[in-house]
A and B are shown apart, each in its own frame.
Chain A
Amino acid sequence: MKIDIREKIQREEASNIGFSVAMISWGMLFASLFLAYALYRFKETAWPPMGFEKVSLVWPTTSTIIIFLSSCTYYLYQKSYFMKQVKSTKFFYSVTVLFASLFLVSQKMLWATLHDSGLYTSSGIFASILHGFTWVHAGHVGIGILAILFVIPSVKTQNIGNEKFRIRMANVGKFWHFLGIVWFLMYLTMFVL
């Protein structure tokens, strides 16, 4: 069956709307976690609660830098793709995958640091929040990496510049940038402030 122009436009519009709705849903999931965090935090007279110390910023900051760089490289990958620059498309795509994986490694290091500081999951609400929320985010990053791998056909030399990957690439990009923003908010509220 032929796909006419009207349907093609509809399809693109649908993809944008559908993905935006999905992002709102994901946004609500994380907003609920932030709401919980706010309630716990404002209920306490001191934060971290008595008996706990602030977490070292080394690994959270490293994670922030890595995920920021991965967002930049994803953007450059998209840009190179549409400029049909084969080498830089492949390069920026590979670097994005690398940074995305490094982010998970940095999270693993963060959890190890928490354990070293005596902050286990059962050590009260402070530790629960640090572990629980970073797990949820890391889980989504895992999904994000799978999504980035989902656009791997776009870096085949003969596919570079092809319009048919545009929506898929854009949606994966939106999701990845969204995860970056969520992490940045987590970094600010849970580790810095």
Chain B
Amino acid sequence: MTYAHGKHAEPKTFLSKYIFSFDHKVIAKQFLWYGIFFLLIGGLMALMIRWTLAYPGEAFPVIGNWLFPETGGVIPPDTYSMLFTLHGTIMIFYAITPILIGAFGNYCIPLMIGARDMAFPTLNMLSFHLAALSGLILLSSLFFPLGGAAGGWTSYPTLSTLVGSPGIGQTLWCMAIFVLGASSTMGAVNYITTIISFRAPGMGYFDMPLTVWGLWLTAILNAIFIPVLGAGVMLLIFDRVFGTTFFLAGAAATSGTGDPILFQHVFWIFGHPEVYILILPAWGIVSDFLSFFARKPAFGAKATALAMTTISVLSTLVYGHHMFTTQMSPLLTQSFMTLTMTISIPSAILFANWLGTIYKGSIRFTSPMLFSLGVVFVFGLGGLTGLYLGTVSTDLYLHDTYFVVGHFHYTMAASVLLGGFAAIYFWFPKMFGRMMNETMAKVHFWGTMIGLNGVFFGMMVVGHAGMHRRLYNPFVYEFLQKLIPINTFITYSAFVMGFAQLPFLWNFFHSLVKGKVAESNPWEVGTLEWTLPSPPVNYNFEEIPVVQCGPHEFGNPNLPEGKDFQYQTEKLVEA
């Protein structure tokens, strides 16, 4: 039974407890399992791609013969296209989004704002089930004749029309993305509403943890821009299934033809905000964690929140920099370039505030803090290399090279992944009532950091040297043959990164069962979720808390001896 304000009766059966649960905490865990499952699939695909680039024409080790018996274990060219298409799609939409937004959005928002659940629990449940349906549609495409989609994660026409992608795979890709878009929009409606309507008494917007700010802004961008992609893929489905010609150009030019470039517009109107949709939760999380583990108030917390807001607004105005090479007018390219550059200003504020937060802090190098510092480092690199792609003159040279791949992996993959791991290590005790092993977490951190920098920095190097993305075997071109050793190095780094996830998996599953039992507040921070037992009970709060101070009250000299933080429910201690 569902009550007002999202209260729901304690579930008794397996189905109501684990499958059709209304509880935001259970739905968060469902998204977490879902995300980790797809992360492993997407990761395996990445290793296959890298293997092909390091050892073209050689069988993929261990499982190659089983997966590709016709070619003796060698990944064939059409499968290679499918692999990089689905790797991108899965990692962005089915791994990172569910983990950071689905899992931690669901878990953290009600707990951190002092609510008992999401505003619309049924919609929340539906959101996960639609995401599950979407995942099934996408994976099922692999089992149809001609396999899954192979037009790249951007699915530009004409690659994605029937001309470029015959077979049902691309159609199923479009359907999966459309269904997932509906799921994300439902989530966004819930997040936005919950944050506006169900904040605990006393909690103003600037009293919200920055994690909540990040998730809120993400939800706003999601609600506005996912339907734009929805419209695009819907028209693509019409083209593929009903024979319309929205994205078909060519022979019909004299009688009114479609326009493949239109899809690029629609895709990037969504796609550029999507970068921030993915990174904003990680920024929020990192902004909080740096303060929590430096045992200092977040430096310029309001400015950080406003910088994130400004970046969100600007992110909606710069999509054209993805399309400099589509014969855009110089006036437009310069406008988009200038707008893109202005994002540097709030980004610099954000970075300065992060550095200001840890400056002279009593830093505790716990696993969430290490991963947060990792985000600061890799996002710095990703952000700075983005300037070259936002500038017309350099973008014309670097467009469609591995430099782009390296850049967006630093921003969208490395930063978001590290932010996701930071969140998992931090909230695992609250979610499951047990601690994860810190030593294993640190092994995981260093393995991942070394591996990912080898991969993504290497990609930028080969991209700058002129190696184009999406080529099955770039080394048939003589000028690229000298890049084989560095590609081999990138592949080794990818395997290091891949193997570095084994300690994480072991740690995660082992800790679920045998981890040390967690106290209610093992990290000694004051946000509302840590006032509850680990894991929190059904409905979260017996009494809705009253918030009396901000989320980053650390190091107050007026606090009693031995305590360096206070809960948000406590009145600010004064002299």
Interface residues of chain A, those whose CB is within 8 Å of chain B, are 1, 3, 7-8, 10-11, 13-14, 17-18, 21-22, 24-26, 28-33, 35-36, 39-40, 43-44, 48-52, 120-122, 124-129, 131-132, 135-136
Give bound CA distance, A57 to B194, whole Å: 45
With contacts A50-B255, A122-B243, A135-B238 known, is A28 near B225, CB below 8 A?
yes
Pick from B198, B231, B256: contact of A44, CB below 8 A: B256
Residues B259 and A39 in contact, CB atoms below 8 Å apart? yes
Q: Which residue of B lies closest to A32 (CB)?
A: B231
7 closest Cβ contacts across the A-B interface? A49-B256, A32-B231, A128-B244, A29-B227, A122-B243, A28-B227, A14-B197
Stretch binding the partner chain, chosen from B145-153, B182-190, B389-397: B182-190
With contacts A17-B193, A29-B227 known, is A36 near B235, CB below 8 A?
yes
B99: CB under 8 A from chain A?
Answer: no
Pick from B197, B226, B238: contact of A13, CB below 8 A: B197
B262: CB under 8 A from chain A?
Answer: yes
Pick from A7, A13, A36, A48: contact of B246, CB below 8 A: A36
Cβ contacts under 8 Å, A29 to chain B:
227-228, 230-231
Residues A22 and B189 in contact, CB atoms below 8 Å apart? yes
Q: Which residue of B lies closest to A34 (CB)?
A: B231
Cβ contacts under 8 Å, A18 to chain B:
119-120, 123, 189-190, 192-193
With contacts A18-B189, A28-B225 known, is A131 near B244, CB below 8 A?
yes
Residues A25 and B226 in contact, CB atoms below 8 Å apart? yes
Q: Which residue of B lies closest to A18 (CB)?
A: B193
Give bound CA distance, A135 to B246, whole Å: 14
Give bound CA distance, A103 to B243, whole Å: 25
Residues B231 and A128 in contact, CB atoms below 8 Å apart? no
Give bound CA distance, A120 to B243, whole Å: 9
Cβ contacts under 8 Å, A121 to chain B:
238, 242-244
In the complex, per-residue mask of B114-132: 1 if CB is within 8 Å of any chain A CB, else 0: 0000011001000000000
Q: Which residue of B lies closest to A11 (CB)?
A: B4
Cβ contacts under 8 Å, A131 to chain B:
238, 242, 244
Give bound CA distance, A22 to B228, whole Å: 14
B362: CB under 8 A from chain A?
Answer: no
Pick from B223, B230, B244, B252: contact of A21, CB below 8 A: B223
Pick from B231, B244, B255: contact of A33, CB below 8 A: B231
Residues B224 and A25 in contact, CB atoms below 8 Å apart? yes
Cβ contacts under 8 Å, B224 to chain A:
24-25, 28
B232: CB under 8 A from chain A?
Answer: yes
B257: CB under 8 A from chain A?
Answer: yes
Give bound CA distance, A40 to B225, whole Å: 21
Residues B188 and A126 in contact, CB atoms below 8 Å apart? no
Residues A1 and B3 in contact, CB atoms below 8 Å apart? yes
Q: Which residue of B lies closest to A9 (CB)?
A: B197
Q: Which of A7, A50, A125, A132 has most B Cβ within 10 Å?
A: A125
Q: Which residue of A lies closest to B246 (CB)?
A: A128
Q: Which residue of A lies closest to B254 (CB)?
A: A50
Residues A32 and B259 in contact, CB atoms below 8 Å apart? no
Cβ contacts under 8 Å, B7 to chain A:
1
Q: Give A33 Cβ to nearest chain B Cβ, in Å.
A: 5
Q: Give A119 Cβ to nearest chain B Cβ, in Å.
A: 11
Give bound CA distance, A124 to B190, whole Å: 40
The A/B interface has a contact count, at CB < 8 Å, of: 137
Residues B150-200 near A (CB distance < 8 A):
185, 188-190, 192-194, 196-198
Residues A39 and B246 in contact, CB atoms below 8 Å apart? no
23 contacts between A and B (CB under 8 A): A1-B3, A7-B5, A11-B4, A11-B5, A14-B119, A14-B120, A18-B192, A21-B223, A26-B227, A28-B224, A29-B227, A29-B228, A35-B265, A36-B246, A43-B259, A49-B255, A51-B255, A51-B256, A120-B243, A125-B258, A127-B244, A132-B235, A132-B238
Q: Give B265 Cβ to nearest chain A Cβ, in Å.
A: 7
With contacts A124-B256, A126-B256, A128-B238 known, is A10 near B198, CB below 8 A?
yes
Cβ contacts under 8 Å, B246 to chain A:
36, 125, 128-129, 132
Q: Which residue of A lies closest to B539 (CB)?
A: A1
Q: Give B57 Cβ to nearest chain A Cβ, in Å.
A: 42
Residues B257 and A124 in contact, CB atoms below 8 Å apart? yes
Give bound CA distance, A120 to B400, whole Å: 37
Residues A122 and B245 in contact, CB atoms below 8 Å apart? yes
Q: Give B84 Cβ to nearest chain A Cβ, in Å.
A: 27
Q: Give A124 Cβ to nearest chain B Cβ, in Å.
A: 5
Residues B231 and A36 in contact, CB atoms below 8 Å apart? yes
B266: CB under 8 A from chain A?
Answer: yes
B234: CB under 8 A from chain A?
Answer: yes
Q: Give A47 Cβ to nearest chain B Cβ, in Å.
A: 8
Q: Give B236 Cβ to nearest chain A Cβ, in Å.
A: 11
Cβ contacts under 8 Å, A122 to chain B:
243-245
Q: Which residue of B lies closest to A30 (CB)?
A: B231
Residues B4 and A3 in contact, CB atoms below 8 Å apart? yes
Pick from B193, B235, B256: contact of A48, CB below 8 A: B256
Give bound CA distance, A92 to B227, whole Å: 33
Pick from B196, B231, B239, B262: contact of A17, CB below 8 A: B196
Give bound CA distance, A39 to B254, whole Å: 16
Q: Give B429 Cβ to nearest chain A Cβ, in Å.
A: 29
Cβ contacts under 8 Å, A51 to chain B:
254-256
Give bound CA distance, A11 to B255, whole Å: 54
Cβ contacts under 8 Å, A25 to chain B:
185, 188-189, 223-224, 226-227
Give bound CA distance, A126 to B243, whole Å: 13
Q: Give A97 Cβ to nearest chain B Cβ, in Å.
A: 25
Q: Which residue of B lies closest to A131 (CB)?
A: B244
Give bound CA distance, A31 to B120, whole Å: 26
Residues A10 and B5 in contact, CB atoms below 8 Å apart? yes
Pick from B192, B228, B252: contact of A28, CB below 8 A: B228
Give bound CA distance, A26 to B254, whole Å: 34
